[in-house]
Amino acid sequence: MRQNRAHRHEEHDRIPQKGDRIERLQPWTGIQVLGTVFHVDQVQILVKWDDGRSGSLRPGVDHFRILDAA
């Protein structure tokens, strides 16, 4: 059986790679926002969100977790 293990970016200090699935952490809304990383550089992580939007996250500033398939 496959399970998703989630790792908080702040705890593991891992930068996601192109193709990684991530979840933006928005505890105040209770909404789960999932997406796929399509570009990473030294300043930002560009994400195509599952709802059709695109956006960027900043490591060390924005809260997200990388979803690992186990």
Return the pLDDT at 69: 61
Nearest to 45 by CA among 8, 5, 11, 14: 14
CA dihedral defined by 41, 21, 47, 59, rounded to 10 degrees? -50
Distance of CA 51 to the CA centre of its chain: 14
Provide mean pLDDT across the span 7-27: 76
Provide mean pLDDT across the span 40-51: 95
The domains of the chain, with CATH numbers, are 4-69 (2.30.30)
Provide mean pLDDT across the span 23-42: 88
